[in-house]
Amino acid sequence: MRHIVETTGGQIADLAVSSETSSFALLNAIEQTVTTLSAVAQVYNAYARVLGEQLSSLADEPVVSGQYIDPEDVAISAIERVINTFNATRRTLQAQQASVFVDAELRPHHCESLSDAYAEALVALDDLIDIWRDIRATIITRDLAAEPRDGEGFASVEALLTDLHGQ
């Protein structure tokens, strides 16, 4: 009988140590995820600030007829690829955030910490995507404004249509 008690006691002790180790591993993983997401958000925010300064400089430059920012649409194409990549990243982060609430190992306070960290990263990413869209729009608008114009503009839509139809 003594052997059974010692064996059972040893198994219980092993289970306790194993449980404690897995709890520490889970807490460590949660902490690392929160820290990483916070760092990612900071990088996105810093990147958005730099791009915001570039956007301001771009918007402040006078438009000169015939001088284009992106005559071959190389920058526009690159920006579209960046936006698409960031949108894919956004979808991934959203899916990861949603998965937090279905993980049986996580307690409500774990879910809240992780969800908040994902939300912080998503807000920063949204700001970054928005600034890229603004830069794209500014380049397109400025390049259109730099188109050389012959003659005067049209006073109305009707005047434009009349000119287009050759009347």
Model pLDDT for residues 120-163, shown as the tens digit of each residue: 999 999 999 999 999 999 999 999 998 887 766 666 778 767 76
Q: DSSP 3-state assignment of 149?
A: coil
* pTM listed for this prediction: 0.76
DSSP state of 73: S
How many residues would you count in the chain? 167
List, in order, residues 6 or more apart from 63 with CB less than 8 Å away.
142, 145, 146
Span 13-29, pLDDT tens digits: 555 555 555 577 778 88
pLDDT of res. 110:
82
